[in-house]
Structure 1
Amino acid sequence: MQIKKQDKKQGLIEVIPESLDDLWHLSHIIQPGDYITTLTTRRIQDNNSGKTRSDRGVKKTFYLSIRVEKISFHKYTGMLRLTGIIESGPEDLIPLGSYHTINVQINHPIQIRKTWNKWALDRLNEAIEASKRAPEIIVAIEDNITELGIIKQYGIDYIGPIIGDISGKRNIQKNRKEKIDEYYQQITDTILKHNNLNKLIIIGPGFTKNGYYEYLTDHYPEIAKKSILESTGAGGHAGIQEVLKNGLIESLSKDAKIAKETTQVNKLLEEIGKSSQQVTYATKNTQNAANMGAIEQLLVVDNMVRNPEIQQIMNTTENMGGHVMIISSEHDAGKQLEALGSIAAFLRYPI
């Protein structure tokens, strides 16, 4: 994410989203009532055309501004759609007051005019910093099946399974090593699709991870230098979740959003398990704590930030000097927080 223009007096920031992560961040930064301006395309009725297809109109591109009413982000299609009432634009082309949907696109500027709360500015800065970092990839490898977990801002993108055509009967299959190398190369080819790798975390319950690391050392030494090995009790999704929960990712990359979120939710669950008076959860309890100025850190699931009651708690917390952490609903820690009412807090003192 890049900031192209900023006018603090008008509450205007123009940004350029550069990735799917950036679109996801914008889907939570932009709120109903915000004023959005961007270059858009709309089919305009051409009443002067004599063509038989004139009833379909002509596509024209122009700048247009809407007052947002609905925000929808679709991770699998990579689309962020903003729907609202048109408030400004070329009046000869579009009727003001009608509805329009803007498809926010990667590498296309968008202007956001709004009241910028601290948590929204923090999230924007977080997206900008994250865009400068290379990704971490988890390789959950077993004898003949591997899954990759690409660590994104919103959670884990799972890739796989990658299946190896390897027989377990070493003496019968003479070309076993060749098949193993083909399997390892399949995995590596998938990894190489992601440029500027930061860390490769190779995990699994057996010794296959060691064999794969040796393969990287022989054939891809630059990747091997960025790799670490970690034993887990399971492979696949379960193994990936295991390393997220054990703090390994956070120790390797202090900026990995999912690792920080998972760590905080785990701490919360531990405190709840001890019947600690230093935490609280659910809307009513958290609201009381916020009003008393007792919240040190507030945890909120991202799909609740548009709720007016939750927004009030967030604003009160920040006004009282507390910190707000938005937790993605796309990973396990977010789902655990949802089960507690989607909001919780670490307290400065028991209440």
Structure 2
Amino acid sequence: MKVLELDERHHVIRVVPECSEDLFFLTLLIEPGDVVYSWTYRMLKREGVTGTERGERVKVYMGLRVLSLDFQRFTNRLRIHGVVIEVPDWLPAKGRHHTIAVEPGVEVKIVKEHFNTSLIRGILEQCIQSRAKVLVISIDLRSVCLAEVTAIGSRILYSSSLSLSGKLSHRASLLNELEATLRKLLTRLTLHLREYSAVAIAVPSVLKSMVLEALRKVMDLSSINFTIFNVGEGGESGVYELLRRDDFCDYLKKVNVHFYSSYVEKLFRYLATDEAQVAIGIEEVKEAVEYHAVDTLIMTSNFLTNSYRSEDTRTVLERLGAQHIKVIVIPSEEECGQKLDSLGGIAAFLRFKIRT
């Protein structure tokens, strides 16, 4: 996300999203009641020479009072629904409903109704960290899967069953089949490996050496930051196993992918061993904020978008901003986000215990 302007005094944010991940973070910056300005298309009806009306789509810069947002993760479009409050005089659209479709590369100006400096800066910082991504190649004799992991979540790029006939005792035959399978797969997908910070290879230990040898024949591994992980199964099962493992979360941090499931896993560990180290739900978090005991706050995107306008939530976020507390927003669509939503959508790690 390219930040062009951040004016705390006038509550103005001006940005240019550069990828689909940026659009997700843009949904966290915009809330109902804000005013959004951007270029868009609007149907302009003109009267023809025969007296009939004809429509013409015209490009226009307008401002909307936001009513709602519509965004599907890993897509390249954010739809902002609202009421037109500012538009050129030649276009009769003021007061009417309109939808601005924001794509990467389109400048957006946001005039916030409520400006929480700490939260906004935290979201922009998360956005910068989310640019790194990892490619996961998970394979065994029965299935292969390619997945992409970023800070805002993971997605399956390709998944297929395999029927490699070679037995482990026939190494040469099996190696040839693995090489042919991987070459065909990577050629078909035409992956741009330079887009990825690293490549994680998930494979059962018994196939580790053969898969690595086959990959070296179809990819230039010398120029790639890759790591091999032993998994019980390949394919999608191997990907999901990795996403739940602490060593993989540690690996993601090393390659600068701040995978936020680690915060939720840490939260549940505290709940099982020493729950006084955390505050769960808005009431406990509010109490911890009053004691200046919060070290890091985590909340889900659903909690932020659905509860931000409540008085308790706004009070908590404003006080956290004054205390310069780190705030992490976790996508509710991810498994870790769903776990946090089940606890109320908000929690905090504490500097010190406020109860025993």
SS in 1 for 2:59: strand
Alignment gaps of 5+ in structure 2: none
Structure 1 residue 14 corresponds to structure 2 residue 17: no
In the alignment, the residues of structure 2 paired with residue 186 and residue 253 of structure 1 have an alpha-carbon distance, to the nearest angstrom, of 31
SS at match of 2:315: helix
**Length, aligned pairs only:** 345
Q: Deviations over 1:194-252 (max 9, x none)?
A: 53332111012343343222123234234674211111234344433433331334335
The counterpart of 1:147, out of the listed 145, 148, 153, is 145
The normalised TM-score by structure 1 is 0.88
* Pairing 1:73–2:71 present: yes
Deviation (angstroms), 1:155? 0.1
Q: Which moved more, 1:249-258 or 1:261-270?
A: 249-258
Letter in 1 for 2:125: N
After TM superposition, the score normalised by the length of structure 2 is: 0.87
In the alignment, is the contact (CA less than 8 A) between 2:19 and 2:76 conserved in 1?
no
Distance 1:175 1:243 in 2: 29
CA distance in 1, matches of 2:127, 2:268: 27
Q: Assess, with a 3 A threshold, how the Cα gap between structure 1 residues 327 and 252 changes in structure 2: closer, same or farther.
A: closer
Question: Is residue 195 of structure 2 the alignment partner of residue 196 of structure 1?
Answer: yes
Which stretch of structure 1 is more off in the superposition, 121-130 or 91-100?
121-130
The Cα offsets for residues 52-109 of structure 1, whole Å up to 9 and x where unpaired, read as: 6x35x21111110111111111226532111111111112213322111111111111
1:72-151 equivalence runs, <5 A = 72-75=70-73, 77-114=75-112, 115-131=115-131, 133=132, 135-151=133-149
Give the CA deviation at 1:7: 4.1
Q: How far 1:328 moved relative to its partner?
A: 1.7
- Displacement of 1:305 in angstroms is 0.7
- Stretch deviating more after TM superposition (115-124 or 28-37): 115-124
Q: Name the counterpart of 1:339.
A: 342
Distance 1:233 1:72, change over 3 A: same
Task: Let me know the Cα RMSD of the aligned residues.
Answer: 2.7
Query: Would you say the 8 A contact 1:29–1:123 is kept in 2?
Result: yes
Structure-2 residue corresponding to 1:24: 24
Alignment pair present for 1:296 and 2:295? yes
Amino acid at match of 1:71: L
State the partner residue of 1:256. 257
Q: Are the counterparts in 2 of residues 141 and 209 from structure 1 also a CA contact under 8 Å?
A: no
2:333 is the counterpart of 1:316: no
Q: More deviation in 62-71 or 226-235? A: 226-235
CA distance in 2, matches of 1:223, 1:17: 33
Give 1:275 deviation, angstroms: 4.0
- SS of the residue 2:151 aligns to: coil
